[in-house]
């Protein structure tokens, strides 16, 4: 079992409840990463489902849970021959933190009848760059759990030269050797810095709603994350992310609505 598997483990205690322990290693300056929290919820949902894979997840982030004990409560809404539908709630100290609706199914790995191409062609990994290591006092513990190598223009905001467009692109893998599975993909769709950084805005940008789809089981190797946005307005922005595997297959896609941060 990897560190990530342990950090997202869900232990069943009765028909509808799982005990979890939220790991402080997935913090972004204090708040826990939303993709990590979705992975925790999905561990419980998949364990409870007759199907193997979370093909669609919509999560509303009501509060920011803190590291420590919590529970996932699952409610089976419907199960058919090819899919099951579950409502799941992450609860901490008796208060609902995240509400999710999850569709599970079993993907077979069949060849696609049609596949589009990535929205952007990435440079080779050796031409991409890492973010500087965060200062210990920043409490950016998430950085230690994964490796991101960025398309250089999309992190020009570090040196005061943002592109002016909401965008972020990087290669992704876990720091501890681990082939990506659906739970790693839940983390990957929320692993990029907020795309508004490239538009010249900074600060913590809390996710309000995030929907992602598992499209295929990824091949071993680096994942490619391609993120962009359509509108920044009235204190809100959207972010869409495509995840492509090492074989060139689209394996996940997401869209989230978030608040513009205050830098």
Distance CA 49, CA 23 (A): 24
Residue 29 — very low, low, confident or very high, per pLDDT cuts 50/70/90? confident
Q: Which of 49-58, 72-81, 108-117, 231-240 has the lowest mean pLDDT?
A: 108-117
Mean pLDDT of 114-128: 93
Which pair of structure tokens corresponds to residue 205? 């940008």
**pLDDT at residue 140 in the model:** 84
Mean pLDDT of 208-224: 97
Mean pLDDT of 117-128: 94
For 23-60, b/e burial (b = at least 16 CB within 10 A) is: bebbbbeebbbbbbbbbbbbbbbbebbebebbbebbbe
Give residue-wise pLDDT tens across range 60-107. 999 999 999 999 999 999 999 999 999 999 999 999 999 999 999 999
**pLDDT at residue 86 in the model:** 98
* pTM passes above 0.85: yes
Mean pLDDT of 145-158: 94
Which pair of structure tokens corresponds to residue 238? 């959207």
Query: How do the domains of the chain map onto residue ranges?
Result: 3-107+126-259
Q: What percent of the chain has pLDDT over 90?
A: 86
3-107+126-259 architecture in CATH? Beta Barrel (2.40)
**pLDDT at residue 263 in the model:** 55
Three-state SS for the chain is CCHHHHHCCEEECCCCEEEEEECHHHECCCCECHHHHHHHHHHHHHHHCCCCEEEEEEEEECCCCCCEEEEEEEEEEEECCCCEEEEEEEEECCEEEEEEEEEEECCCCCCCCCCCCCCCCCCCHHHCECCCCCCHHHCCHHHHHEEEEECHHHHHHHHCCCCCCCEEEEEEEECCCCCCCHHHHHHHCCCCCCHHHHHCCCCCCCEEEEEEEECCCCCCCCEEEEEECCCEECCEEEEEEEEECCCCCEEEEEEEEEECCCC
**pLDDT at residue 262 in the model:** 66
Residue 59 — very low, low, confident or very high, per pLDDT cuts 50/70/90? very high
Q: Are 53 and 107 contacting, i.e. CB atoms less than 8 angstroms apart?
A: yes
Which pair of structure tokens corresponds to residue 51? 């199907």
Residue 139 — very low, low, confident or very high, per pLDDT cuts 50/70/90? confident
Mean pLDDT of 205-224: 96
Which pair of structure tokens corresponds to residue 136? 């210990």
User: pLDDT at residue 181 above 80?
Assistant: yes
Distance CA 173, CA 43 (A): 20
Distance CA 225, CA 173 (A): 10
User: pLDDT at residue 184 above 80?
Assistant: yes
Angle at 238 between CA 234 and CA 242, to 5 degrees: 170
């Amino acid at each position: 079992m990897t560190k990530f598997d342990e950090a997202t483990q869900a232990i069943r205690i009765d028909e509808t409840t799982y005990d979890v322990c939220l790991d402080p290693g997935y913090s972004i300056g204090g708040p826990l990463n939303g993709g990590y929290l979705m992975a925790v919820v999905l561990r419980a949902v998949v364990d409870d489902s007759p199907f193997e894979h979370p093909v669609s997840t919509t999560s509303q982030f009501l509060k920011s849970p803190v590291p420590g004990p919590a529970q996932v409560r699952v409610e089976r809404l419907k199960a058919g021959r090819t899919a099951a539908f579950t409502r799941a709630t992450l609860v901490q100290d008796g208060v609902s933190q995240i509400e999710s609706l999850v569709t599970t199914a079993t993907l077979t790995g069949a060849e696609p009848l049609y596949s589009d191409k990535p929205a952007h062609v990435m440079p080779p990994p050796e031409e991409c760059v890492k973010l500087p290591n965060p200062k210990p006092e920043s409490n950016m513990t998430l950085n230690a759990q994964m490796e991101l190598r960025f398309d250089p223009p999309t992190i020009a905001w570090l040196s005061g030269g943002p592109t002016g467009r909401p965008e972020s692109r990087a290669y992704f893998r876990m720091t501890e050797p681990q082939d990506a599975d659906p739970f790693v993909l839940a983390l990957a769709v929320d692993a990029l810095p907020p795309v508004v950084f490239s538009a010249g805005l900074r600060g913590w940008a809390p996710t309000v709603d995030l929907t992602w789809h598992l499209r295929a089981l990824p091949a071993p190797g680096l994942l490619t994350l391609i993120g962009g946005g359509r509108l920044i307005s009235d204190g809100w922005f959207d972010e869409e992310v495509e995840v492509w595997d090492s074989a060139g297959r689209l394996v996940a896609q997401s869209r989230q609505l978030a608040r513009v941060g205050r830098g």
